[in-house]
Amino acid sequence: MPLKGDVPPARKTYWLEHAWLGDRTEPGVALDVTADGRVAGLRPEVPTPPPGAEVLRGLTVPGLANAHSHAFHRALRSTVQVGSGTFWTWREVMYGVAQNLTPENYFTLARAVYAEMALAGITNVGEFHYVHHAPGGARYADPNAMGEALIEAAAAAGIRITLLDTAYLAAGFGEAPNAHQRRFSDGTAEAWAERAGALTPREHALIGAAVHSVRAVPAGQLATVAAWAQERQAPLHVHLSEQTAENDACLAAHGRTPTQLLADHGVLGPRTTGVHNTHLTDGDIALLGATTTGTCMCPTTERDLADGIGPAGRLQRAGSPLSLGSDSHAVIDLLEEARAMELNERLRSRTRGHWTANALLTAATADGHASLGRPDAGRLEAGALADFTTIALDTVRTAGPVARLGAETAVFAASAADVRHTVVGGRHVVRDGVHTLVGDVAAALAEAIAAVRG
């Protein structure tokens, strides 16, 4: 299925009032788009819009990459803020929503969630997808009905997706899936690989793989998932050391940390991304860096679930590229994720300035897209995908700073509410803060969430 949105002519020009070019903010940039939705070239020092150009006022940056999403978790927003508890009690509420999902209502929910992402400037989502089967574990007539619903939902919302089809085979080390988890499981990694292999990429959708966690995929089956991804040169993601309880259980079962276990079975590497990477030893950090395994930080979820603060700075210095995700969608705001990564590090270290605004935007753009298998996205340069978003510089949050501090304003002051335009493949998906394909996103969300709450 092709990307949806307005169809660009043979050549289309956008005039960017200000453009972030990776290391600086430039005023007056004309950006030409080809018929196949790529950047033909950039022309700086264009002080006024050329005739016929689409005018984007504000700061235009490459489209944001949400490298870690569970779309149905959006139905938990606010509901899980009643009372107290832990990650494990939160998980029980999550299971209740998962049980109510069908291919039909998941499409409707995901379309609304992905539309919310487009409104937040996100042009590409990594969907960590593990709700594969019907409640109880029976397969649908199309074994990939749930994954196809997510792929179609992304197209309907006008954004790109990397479907990270997830192997989820066990409740814990040596434990069979519980009643809630049966619909997640294919039984074996071989059966997972056969089903996932039937998924096909399309213009807007790539197919990747995921190991849910070392507790959910038996050690002897990790290599099967890694080999599947290796054969396809596909992204491979894994929840890693999000909870100390998982680390303790892994040490008890295998005598090594989750990172060491993944390394032993060939899971780590430059196409692999560990999500969270929160509770790591020095040896774990060295292993992840030496293998250039990526790290996806999800600060708003990690703080919402009281997971802890991961060693993002040490990981990056060791050689692990950083990306960002909104995970459980406590909020959907990649600018907040970028800001939170720096501010968390400040709280931990009591020093400031661990990442520049440019570096944080790079994690939210180029490095995030690369982790999802799209190294040709996340940059405003010739040949890149024409995916970009424009952040207003005249709102109550962003007014005041000089324009050359556009990156600093975007990361440390702006929010998703300041996004004015989102363009994917040269097509306007969000124009002047309004989604062009999903007319009333708030209403769509409310209706879809009510349908899955049961």
Catalytic residues: 276, 327
- Between CA 406 and CA 412 the distance in angstroms is 10
Output the CA torsion sign for 84, 136, 126, 311: positive
Cβ-based burial of 40 (10 A; exposed 0-12, middle 13-18, buried ≥19): middle
- Between CA 313 and CA 289 the distance in angstroms is 11
Total residue length of the chain: 454
- Chain CA centroid to CA 130, Å: 15
- Between CA 156 and CA 439 the distance in angstroms is 12
DSSP 308-320: ----HHHHHHHT-
At residue 187, what is the residue type?
G
For 352-364, give one letter per residue: b (16+ CB within 10 A) or e: eebbebbbbbbbb
C-alpha distances (whole Å) from 97 to each of 94, 298, 360, 451 are 5, 21, 33, 10
